[in-house]
Structure 1
């Protein structure tokens, strides 16, 4: 008997597996964009074909029965194999979709060039991007909301597989009218005692600075984007610490001045992160290949 006659349809298996993961038929239905009645019908079709009751139902949701626990694991294996097939075909045909979360610095100063290079190779590829600070990107990766994350920081985030691909440098910058603008350098103690304009806690920039220089004075102001930090520093003639990538134009144009910090190492690693159980395939693998190519823009 052919396999197709012995197993439920793929959409039916997907619905049952999603209901098991979410603990709710209604939640599975909403995620799949179908009615709860249609989702229940798919699950009943799986149970009929397999001759097995999959769930114990209650007002609080559904729980996988003891006999169905290994079956759900096997269904998961089948669905992952199907996803591998779909991603592989998309890669071969030059189509497909990559879902990515990136920290703000990478999103603003590196990702656009990666996407353009990817589209030149594979015009049919789509890239869906969400941005946030490093903590938010790690959370999105761990929740399986995206295939890849790109972050920066002094150490690899916990719980994910990380691949460093470049080095970046943080730099202390001030507007030309600031008292430090004419200095050869400042000491770590001076920087530690100064109230700076900074990114918010949870950002890779803030984390790197705090790891290199513990005991910083409370920030003068905290802002959620690199552009806002630069604008505030310029408007108030204040000092800030940002990626050299982010201030390259302002330094070239003389609107900001870089001030060395004596003996302080502010280099950090740019890293790709993924869930340990989610290999990178398809369009996401194509994007990663582009990102891993050495580029002058990715260096400190």
Structure 2
């Protein structure tokens, strides 16, 4: 359900709650680290948005109206829920930073990644400890799908082509060799052209984490 345009944003509600808790605009301004004029202007903007008088102003000072007190009470519950969401998001971000999801083509996963990951763990990339590594060994096409869809944080593939929409970097070359029996006609012959070369490419999503 979409909210109406009469609902102030969280920062405005937090300021109104500050007025309720501190007892005056001036005290709320000091607590928020802003000027009283800024608080007064924000309150007037909220009054225009909600269509409700929130503060009673007099020569003796300012205080919340009955409607202002009521909205401040609602704001307290809303801000408490928002704080829980904020804490939850922070926990999810920390968990994501502590886990690295790696997808790699089969040859790289079997021959190269064990040594790379051992070095990565020894270096300790997050604080004093390396993150948990979740490795998936699959074919190149699926590695690209994982990185594109965000189910892998980083991918390693083989081949000269760099998939569109992804950031890639060549991290190594693998020279292929043809092995034959000693009595094979090719034994002892030097190739006219260099053997094919396979590239190892590291892939990252186009959108930042």
TM-score normalised over the length of structure 1 = 0.37
Q: Which has the larger radius of gyration?
A: 2
Is 1:142 aligned to residue 148 of structure 2?
yes
Is 1:163 aligned to residue 169 of structure 2?
yes
Is 1:184 aligned to residue 189 of structure 2?
yes
Cα RMSD (Å): 3.4
Cα distance change of structure 1 residues 83 and 273 upon mapping to structure 2, 3 Å threshold: farther
Distance 1:83 1:121 in 2: 24
Cα distance change of structure 1 residues 142 and 109 upon mapping to structure 2, 3 Å threshold: same
Is 1:127 aligned to residue 170 of structure 2?
no
SS at match of 1:171: coil
Runs of 5+ consecutive residues of structure 1 not aligned to the other structure: 15-78, 91-95, 186-260, 280-300
Among candidates 87, 94, 100, match of residue 86 of structure 1: 94
Q: CA deviation at 1:83?
A: 8.1
Deviating runs (4+, > 4 A) in structure 1? 9-12, 82-85
SS at match of 1:179: coil
Mapping 1:267-278, distance limit 5 Å? 267-278=197-208
Runs of 5+ consecutive residues of structure 2 not aligned to the other structure: 1-12, 16-77
SS at match of 2:116: helix
Equivalenced residues, count: 131
Contact 1:155 1:269 in 2 (8 A): no
Q: CA deviation at 1:171?
A: 2.2
Q: CA deviation at 1:111?
A: 0.7
- 1:262 — aligned with what? 192
Among candidates 120, 139, 159, match of residue 153 of structure 1: 159
Among candidates 98, 109, 117, match of residue 100 of structure 2: 98
Cα distance change of structure 1 residues 264 and 84 upon mapping to structure 2, 3 Å threshold: farther
Q: CA deviation at 1:273?
A: 0.4
- 1:107 — aligned with what? 109
Deviations 1:19-66 (A, max 9, x none): xxxxxxxxxxxxxxxxxxxxxxxxxxxxxxxxxxxxxxxxxxxxxxxx
- 2:79 — aligned with what? 5
Q: CA deviation at 1:146?
A: 0.6
Distance 2:165 2:123 in 1: 32
TM-score normalised over the length of structure 2 = 0.51
SS at match of 2:207: coil
Cα distance change of structure 1 residues 84 and 275 upon mapping to structure 2, 3 Å threshold: farther
